[in-house]
Amino acid sequence: MNVGKSGYRVFSANSTAACTELGKKITERLGVELGKAVVYQEPNRETRVEINESVRGQDIFIIQTIPRDVNTAIMELLVMAYALKTSCAKNIIGVIPYFPYSKQCKMRKRGSIVCKLLASMLAKAGLTHIITMDLHQKEIQGFFSFPVDNLRASPFLLQYIQEEVPDYRNAIIVAKSPSAAKRAQSYAERLRLGLAVMHGEAQCSESDMADGRHSPPSVRNTTGHPGLENSLGKHRAPFPGIELPRMMAKEKPPITVVGDVGGRIAIIVDDIVDDVEDFVAAAEILKERGAYKIYIMATHGLLSGDAPRLIEESAINEVVVTNTVPHEVQKLQCPKIKTVDVSMILAEAIRRIHNGESMAYLFRNITVDD
């Protein structure tokens, strides 16, 4: 395809070579070349972007994969989007396979919804559309003032299970926590496999974190219900004479596995693999329950810190993630980490958006809970 007559350009906003691999694969599938732009860091760590070709009246797609230096990647995306906006680009579409700060999408005690802030910043910089994949919470789409296409990686991971997992018919899909049960059920139904759910896992889940609704009331020199005074210590009930139910402390039950995994291949599914301590602990429990092989399937392989070493030393047989996040260094440290390429669906999404075609084809056989 002649990029000069195609009506769109594809740019990479990354300043590091390792992060441009996904962009190169996407452009190869589209039959175009990456746009001519230079992204680099000044000696004082300021981000500078130079667009070296005309983008006037064009549909511009910015591919931004998120490395470990998340904040630098965000600034690169914002600066490039604003540069394209001031260069009179027609539409600016961000292709962000892993959306950063997606875990910070709920209000915490004296905190902020950082994901909403980032959505506002992207809109202000000039983006008019976003293509992403497996948002941590689907409700994040409501933070944006422009369209968001939240693609799914599950067809690629399901294909990997069917083609690369020996005797996968003897497998069982495992949810690491009750909150992941819907995703696991979606996988189990499409593979015609059984489902197991782990409950009581010692983890710092989102539901365990205190938010503003559980903040203690302000201190007043009044006397309230004795049970409430005992549970709050020195804090007193805000209004005298009002009796409120006693606040009971939350206690986690012992770790249990609901479902029979004995003599089966256990496949744990999730959206993000970052700190792997929870996955390693889950693998140990499943091994004790009789599972003879353990696989981890996830869309985004952040694999932070000592994740490669912990995986290598654990009972996990394979960790399968997509290439939404660069992790070549981690793969060199741990041969158990495998990669599934999702550039095909991202390239097709770009083509369909530019041509004004329906995106429904990319979501066929995808359930709401996936």
pLDDT in tens, 188-218: 999 999 999 998 755 444 444 444 444 454 4
User: So what's the pLDDT on residue 226?
Assistant: 52
Instruction: Please list, in sequence order, all residues whose beta carbon lies within 8 angstroms of the beta carbon of residue 267, skipping any fewer than 6 positions away.
Output: 161, 165, 171, 172, 173, 174, 187, 294, 295, 296, 297
Exposed/middle/buried for residue 244 (C-beta within 10 Å: 0-12, 13-18, 19+): middle
| Residue in the block written with tokens 């793969």 | 331
Helix (H) or strand (E) holding 156: helix 154-164
Task: Show Cβ contacts of residue 120 under 8 Å, excluding neighbours closer than 6 positions.
Answer: 143, 145
Residue-wise pLDDT tens digits, 273-292: 998 999 999 999 999 999 99
What is the reported pLDDT for 235? 52
User: Where residue 261 falls among pLDDT bands split at 50, 70, 90?
Assistant: very high
Who's near 174: CB < 8 A, 6+ residues apart? 184, 195, 196, 197, 198, 257, 259, 261, 266, 267, 268, 269, 282, 286
User: What is the pLDDT at residue 212?
Assistant: 47
| Crossing angle between the packed helical segments 21-30 and 343-355, to the nearest 10 degrees | 50
pLDDT tens profile 162-178: 999 999 999 999 999 88
Amino acid at 324: T
Give the pLDDT confidence score for residue 83 in this predicted structure: 96
- Note every long-range contact of 317-320, with CB atoms under 8 Å and residues 24 or more positions apart, other chains counting: 317/293, 319/273, 319/276, 319/279, 319/295, 320/157, 320/160, 320/295, 320/296
End-to-end, the C-alpha distance of the chain in Å comes to: 35
Closest by CA position to 192, among listed 162, 164, 163: 162
Residue 4 pLDDT grade (very low, low, confident, very high; cuts 50, 70, 90) = very low
Q: Which of 1-10, 155-164, 324-333 has the lowest mean pLDDT?
A: 1-10
Quickly list DSSP for 282-331.
HHHHHHHTT-SEEEEEEEEE---TTHHHHHHTSS--EEEEETTS--HHHH
Question: What pLDDT does residue 337 have?
Answer: 97
Average pLDDT, the chain: 87
150 strand-pairing partners: 132
Q: How confident is the model at residue 6 (pLDDT cuts 50, 70, 90)?
A: low
Rounded percentage of the chain residues whose pLDDT exceeds 70: 86
Name residue, tokens 């399901």: 158
Which residues make beta-bridge pairs with 272?
300
Determine the Cα–Cα distance for residues 298 and 97; give it in Å rounded to an integer: 13
- Above pLDDT 90, what percent of the chain? 72
Out of 48-52, 154-158, 200-204, 334-338, which region has the weakest mean confidence (pLDDT)? Answer: 200-204
d(CA 291, CA 262): 5
Exposed, middle or buried by CB within 10 Å (0-12, 13-18, 19+), for 243? exposed
Strands (DSSP E) contained in 123-165 are: 129-133, 148-151
Is residue 269 scored above 90 in pLDDT? yes
Q: What is the pLDDT of residues 210-260, one digit of tens each?
A: 444 444 544 444 454 555 445 555 555 556 667 778 767 667 777 789 999
Burial call 145-181: b when 16+ CB within 10 Å, e when fewer: eeebbebbbbbbbbebbeeebeebeebbbbbbbeebb
- Return the top range by mean pLDDT from 18-32, 76-90, 190-204: 76-90
Question: For helices 181-191 and 154-164, what crossing angle results, to 10°?
Answer: 50
Give CA angle at 167 (163, 171), nearest 5°: 100
Residues 84, 63: Cα–Cα separation, whole Å: 13
H-helix or E-strand containing 223?
none
Q: Which helix (H) or strand (E) holds 346?
A: helix 343-355
Indicate the pLDDT class of residue 102, thresholds 50, 70 and 90: very high
Mean pLDDT along residues 93-119: 91
Looking at per-residue confidence, does 155 or 236 come out higher?
155
* pLDDT given for residue 366 in this prediction: 81
* Rounded average pLDDT over 181-191: 94
Helix (H) or strand (E) holding 77: helix 70-86
